[in-house]
Amino acid sequence: MPFSDGTYEMDAAPNCAICNAPAYPECPCEAERLQIAVKQAEQRAMDERMAEIRDWVINHARQHILNAFDRLTSTRKQAHSSYLASLPNYEVYMRYSGHPPIHPMYIAQLQTQIAEAHAELKRGIDADWRASVLRYPEILDYFYGLIELRLPDDRSPRVVEPPFAAAGYADRGYADPSRLSVEKKKKKRRDREGSIPPERHTALHRIMRGPPPVPTPPIQHEAYPRPPGSYF
Ligand SMILES: [Zn+2]
């Protein structure tokens, strides 16, 4: 539907910010750049924290597994010791360091029983370890489940009015001085890599929000000037 000045809604939509093609048909540049920008921002914001969370989860899962394994094996070792102590001639065998003054037949029989008991203990410990290690997925799920990631309240002042929107939403870029110097240093490298500096994300709003912004008839145009330098 044409506006009173004869223009059409489509004509008011800005050209592609990347290749300057007309808004329709929509080219993929902006969506592609946005994907890159989101991925890079996510890496900057999350990589370090994700690594920290991963270390924390692994350490606690590992500690839990080791503790559980220790409990299992100490029970098993106690049972093993009790069994050995119950064997005929075991006490004298140990007291004489394996050379007790008894008939060689008893010694041979006892040695077989001891060897079998040791092999059984070894099999049991292997089984305990296997059972413990196989629980990792469940234990990792548990500790990851303890991590809290919270989105801020949509009504929070820091969300409604971020620092770069302080001047009535005439976006002038994020002016945190501590960040500015770093950004300047990074700019050259970033330009070479073809990525999108965070202060230039404004033009990508239409991809995030769907259709292009409501077109502004000429009479209102002065009230909503396109912020200079907001588009790349
Ligand atoms: Zn394009």
In this predicted model, what pLDDT tens digit does every residue of 61-83 receive, in sequence order? 999 999 999 999 999 999 999 99
pLDDT confidence of residue 13: 87
Assess if residue 100 is contained within a domain. Answer: yes
**Residue 111 Cα, ligand 1 centroid: separation in angstroms?**
83
Determine the distance separating the centroid of ligand 1 and the alpha carbon of 194, expressed in angstroms: 15
Residue 99 lies in a domain: yes
pLDDT computed for residue 8 by the predictor: 53
Number of domains in the chain: 1
Name the token pair of 208.
């995030």
- What is the 137 CA–ligand 1 centroid distance (Å)? 45
Q: Kindly state whether residue 5 falls inside one of the protein's structural domains.
A: no
In tens, the pLDDT along 31-46 reads: 999 999 999 999 999 9
Q: Quick check: is 159 in a domain? A: no
> What local confidence, expressed as pLDDT, does residue 3 receive?
55
What's the 171 CA to ligand 1 centre distance in angstroms? 23
Mean of pLDDT values over 191-199: 43
Q: By residue range, what is the domain housing residue 133?
A: 53-144
CB 31 within 8 A of CB 207: yes
Does a structural domain hold residue 97? yes
φ, ψ for residue 8, nearest 5 deg: -110, 160
SS3 8: strand
Could you tell me the two tokens for 169? 């939403």
For 170, how many CA atoms within 13 A lie in the half-sphere containing its CB? 8
SS3 139: helix
Instruction: Assess if residue 214 is contained within a domain.
Output: no
- For residue 38, count other CB atoms closer than 10 A to its CB: 15
| Burial class of residue 196, CB neighbours in 10 A (0-12, 13-18, 19+) | buried
Question: Which residues are within 8 A (CB) of 90 and not within 5 positions of it... i.e. 6 or more apart?
Answer: 84, 110, 114
